[in-house]
Chains A and B, each alone.
Chain A
Amino acid sequence: MPVRPSPSPEVHLAVALDGAGWHPAAWREPGADAARLFTAGYWASLVAEAEAGLLDFVTFEDSLGLQSTDPAGPDGRTDLVRGRLDAVLVAARVAPLSRHIGLVPSVVATHTEPFHVSKALATLDYVSRGRAGLRVQISERPDEAGHFGRRAAGGDIAGLYGEAADHVEVVRRLWDSWEDGAEIRDVATGRFVDRARLHYIDFEGPHFSVKGPSITPRPPQGLPPVSALASDAAGYPFLAGSADLAHVTPGNADEARAAALALPGAPHVFGELTVFLDDRPEDAERRLQRLDAAHGAAYTSDARIFAGTPQLLADLLLEWHGAGLTGFRLRPGVLAHDLPAITRGLVPELQRRGAFRRSYGAATLRGLLGLEHPANRYAAAGGAGPTRSGAAAAASAPATVAA
């Protein structure tokens, strides 16, 4: 049994936004709007659709290189979506146009500065009034390393995860480096802030050291939720140590149970599936085949590929929910088709079964996910800094963020 407290009868639902959808031929589908992938209007309408479906959050994929079928670098293909906008900026751009849904951009920890990431996400939390999350990933790709030129390509996975764990640790310490209410505006003494409530984070690790405090005050959520995906168990120690939302890719209910059991400390374990949804199972199958034919190859994925009706998908999600998963991040095969199928087909089906909210009941992403406003580590410690530091400590102990 997972030690996760009070499993909710309701599932959490997120949608992964990427290009025109997750099938490589998605951009060629009717209504895919592929010429508008680099406009704000395109992303705003997807987020509006997801919000109409009362989803917990959307994620925005990102990478620091061109999309490719080749892990070593660009594949030179001209028949697939190539190019993408910075995910944090896309999330910020849609934030004022939405009101309830969580906005979770992807960030590559391998090549970015935790100081910049921390203030960017804190600011996303301000502009969205508490709806920001951070999806953290590592990059092994040599071409992306070549875009920065500061380090040799790749490196061992454990090292990259260790560095990412430090990255997340620094980001969270910076979020905590201002106590809530540190801005006092005390006209009598002329002090704008109470500097006793601002803290140096003094992080020292094998990859970098960061002084702090943040330039941006503690975000509305205190600590915006951090999510990360591991398609196999090699990434589980990182998920266990660094993620509030651990994303896994089981193929069946047993694997879902195993993943949930393997990550007992994570407040949420989300299952990922790529979905093709139609009113009749054979329509969904046929559509997937048609997409495969247009693409010239069968679609494969690290996640289970589901083609069927919203009812059948609801059956599967509830079965995996019973096996210990708290929620799901669905990857629509074709955004133009499968996102509305989720919001207008799957969501009502789950609602009928009492397994999904009928209105937004919380104003923040943490609230939607049932996470309390977190205590500030520095305030709790009476101003003294945290004792552990560095990759080893960060990986061996669960992050101190669980509510």
Chain B
Amino acid sequence: MSKPLKQIHLAAHFPGVNNTTVWSDPAAGSHIEFDSFAHFARTAERAKFDFLFLAEGLRLREQGGEIYDLDVVGRPDTFTVLAALAAVTTHLGLTGTINSTFNEPYEVARQFASLDHLSDGRAAWNVVTSWDAFTGENFRRGGFLPREQRYERAREFLATAHELFDSWDGGELLADPVSGEFLRDARAGAFAHRGEQFDISGHFNVPRSPQGRPVVFQAGDSDEGREFAAAGADAIFGRYGTLDAGRAFYADVKGRLAKYGRTPDELKILPAATFVLGDTDDEARELAHEVRLKQVSGATAIKYLEHVWNRDLSGYDPDGPLPDVDPVPGENTVAQGRASVRTHRDPADVAREWRELAGARGLSIRELVIETTGRQTFVGSPLTVARAIDGLVQADAADGFILVPHLTPGGLDAFADTVVPLLQERGVFRREYTGPTLRDHLGLAAPRALAPAHH
């Protein structure tokens, strides 16, 4: 007997500050104006996607001590955009990336509870943990967290936020004009949290929101990050969109759930994925190559190499061979504010591998960067892409994908019009929303409110 078909989850990642975003295309619109966000969100909702996703950065990227100017620079505030998008959509989930190092739990919990009210239960929080002093320079506290404390703070931040969300159990609001009771209970919102990172107490001032708590995403890839996700997240924004790497990640993370008393269904694995569609597979491949050339100009290739080499390579010809000098070991001083730099493998290893690859295939710097940084997860005709997505999900490489088109804001349109109907025909993607909240779309149960902290 064959397994019943898994239902696919799909989300739309707004293509902003991202090295895959092609801004030079004549069809590329603003990544700041609200019209772009509204168009993107409406397309995602028309396609019955689970949610829209916004990434976040809290300091402009720098390279060689200067603001990086070759990619899209600048983005709007996450909460503010999502609240405005709640006005132009009715079902689409609204997922915001919000950092747990450069914020305080009371304020973030208020913002998410407010967003959940204002969207009738569609809010989600992607908890990220960037911790560096470079970003810290934009904040009151200044400074940073030691790297090894990033998840300590994140764990306690999230736990504290949950205490705040749960400080109202949902039954307190009476608003009865006849009896004159607005609240049933004066203890509504009472909380007290004493821990290593936060020592706070008082009253949370947003009543329990439609989802109880926002849906929680996690995006880090380290062992601690995976553990953090297994312990408390509803979904992972992952980076493994291929069959083998996806299955390995999926099995690893889902295997960690049991020790927290959770079932595999309670944590959805949703890798980021790009795509290029064409009428035929050949046409799509050609288009994908053109997109890659726009994503990686000669100047971009040199800059990318500098991330790894950790030194100025501006004297090198992008159409020539790789530098014969070695990467500068130690802390990366060239590129600031990039997750890729924070998480990169040993640069000497990378350089050695790349030289071998370039030598064997006769690749120039630019060709090598195009080759090694390619992220086009799905390239093909709509049918090819629909099959590939379905195949990966049915093979337990993912529960769905968070799609990042390379164009703002129309990059999702063709996917909505051509791939989604094919997935619906296959019976693996919804034709209509079955519920109003993001928890409904993701098939997640409502969180149980903890008993309010009475004291």
Contact = CB atoms under 8 A, between A and B. Distances in A.
Interface in A65-93: 65-67, 73-74, 76-86, 88-90, 92-93
Contacts of A88: 79-80, 83
Interface stretch (B199-207, B338-346, B370-378): B199-207
Interface stretch (A31-39, A309-317, A321-329, A337-345): A31-39
A233 interface: no
- Chain A interface size, as a band, is 35 or more
Given A85-B114, A113-B140, A192-B23, A40 B203 contact: no
B180 A79 contact: yes
A148 to B, nearest CB: 6
Contacts of A193: 67, 69, 73-74
Contact of B185 (A29, A74, A78, A111): A78
Interface string B59-80: 1100000110111111111011
Interface in A96-144: 96-97, 111-116, 119-120, 122-124, 126-127, 129, 143-144
Given A32-B177, A89-B114, A66 B87 contact: no
Nearest to B298: A190
A207 interface: yes
Interface stretch (A1-9, A209-217, A240-248, A268-276): A209-217
A195 interface: yes
B86 A40 contact: yes
B77 to A, nearest CB: 4
B56 to A, nearest CB: 8
B22 to A, nearest CB: 11
A159 interface: no
A192 B18 CA distance: 12
Interface string B35-67: 000100000000000000000011110000011
A290 interface: no
A198 B67 contact: yes
B170 to A, nearest CB: 12
B142 interface: yes
Interface residues of B, number: 73
A209 B139 CA distance: 7
A64 B108 CA distance: 11
B145 interface: no
B186 interface: yes
A95 B58 CA distance: 24
B115 to A, nearest CB: 6
B191 to A, nearest CB: 9
Contacts of B115: 89
B339 to A, nearest CB: 15
Contacts of B86: 40, 93
A83 B84 contact: no
Contacts of B58: 115, 215
A392 interface: no
Contacts of A178: 74
Of listed B74, B106, B115, residue having the most chain A CB within 10 A: B74
A207 B140 contact: yes
A77 B24 contact: no
B148 to A, nearest CB: 22
A64 B88 contact: no
B125 to A, nearest CB: 14
B114 A79 contact: no
16 contacts: A27-B175, A74-B203, A78-B186, A85-B117, A90-B118, A93-B87, A95-B87, A96-B38, A123-B76, A127-B34, A144-B202, A147-B201, A187-B24, A209-B142, A214-B74, A215-B60
Given A89-B83, A92-B84, 20 more contacts: A38-B173, A73-B202, A78-B182, A83-B207, A85-B117, A85-B118, A86-B111, A93-B83, A96-B34, A111-B107, A116-B103, A119-B80, A120-B79, A147-B202, A150-B104, A192-B73, A194-B69, A198-B67, A208-B140, A210-B139
- Ordered nearest first, which 8 A-B pairs have the shortest CB separation? A92-B83, A123-B80, A211-B137, A86-B114, A208-B140, A127-B84, A123-B77, A28-B177
Interface of A: 27-29, 32, 34-35, 37-40, 44, 63-67, 73-74, 76-86, 88-90, 92-97, 111-116, 119-120, 122-124, 126-127, 129, 143-144, 146-150, 178, 183, 185, 187, 190-195, 198, 207-217, 294
